[in-house]
A and B are shown apart, each in its own frame.
Chain A
Amino acid sequence: DAGVIQSPRHEVTEMGQEVTLRCKPISGHNSLFWYRQTMMRGLELLIYFNNNVPIDDSGMPEDRFSAKMPNASFSTLKIQPSEPRDSAVYFCASSPYWTDTQYFGPGTRLTVL
């Protein structure tokens, strides 16, 4: 059974450019989470969805960040415009309705120059 799939695995872009990160959750999971990991701040929850509906986006740092989940098998996290301080590893995780356990993808390493 495939795990959480994220793309791209690495992204290097220049300040001011738009960045889109993609996530495919595990089939049958109804909750999806976006996290950001940095050395300074550790692993932080940005936003999460239940049944494709955003439930809590209080962790989204500012209006430059947006997330969508158009269907149960796909989600995007967009940063526009990107800034050097957005450089981090972004993880997507999913969870089935019958457990609180979250299963993480391999992450996208974003570098904004």
Chain B
Amino acid sequence: EDQVTQSPEALRLQEGESSSLNCSYTVSGLRGLFWYRQDPGKGPEFLFTLYSAGEEKEKERLKATLTKKESFLHITAPKPEDSATYLCAVQANNAGNMLTFGGGTRLMVKP
């Protein structure tokens, strides 16, 4: 069974204090790993897809990386508007279009 574990569950940062969120996964053949951002009262918003170990993608202050067992979402010099829940999901080779989500990391950035 595919499993995704995110840590920490919650993270408080001061504005400008860089950090990383972790997503560990076990899957029977990874087809893709997805990062989403979710604001309170809204649906998840797509950020990145990573397909192979060593791949990196960047968007503004966010950079996602992938290894064979985990992915990291690095946040550089965060701002209060980066506060949200970040969700990681995996898609297995034999699972069609299905995604398995982790529990998320709730990020709070204080000014």
- Interface, chain A (partner B; CB < 8 A): 4, 31, 33, 42-45, 48, 50, 55-56, 91, 93, 95, 100-107
Contacts and interface: CB of A to CB of B under 8 A. Distances in A.
Contacts, number: 53
Contacts of B101: 42-44
Given A42-B104, A43-B87, A104 B43 contact: yes
B103 A42 contact: yes
B97 A103 contact: no
Interface in B32-68: 32, 34, 36, 41-46, 49
5 contacts: A45-B99, A91-B44, A101-B49, A102-B34, A104-B45
Given A42-B103, A100-B91, A107-B43, A33 B97 contact: yes
A11 to B, nearest CB: 15
A100 B34 CA distance: 9
B104 A45 contact: no
Interface residues of B, number: 22
Given A33-B97, A42-B103, A100-B49, A107 B91 contact: no
B43 A106 contact: yes
Interface string B18-40: 00000000000001101010000
A33 B104 CA distance: 19
B46 A103 contact: yes
Contact of B99 (A55, A102, A107): A102
A48 B97 contact: yes
A49 to B, nearest CB: 10
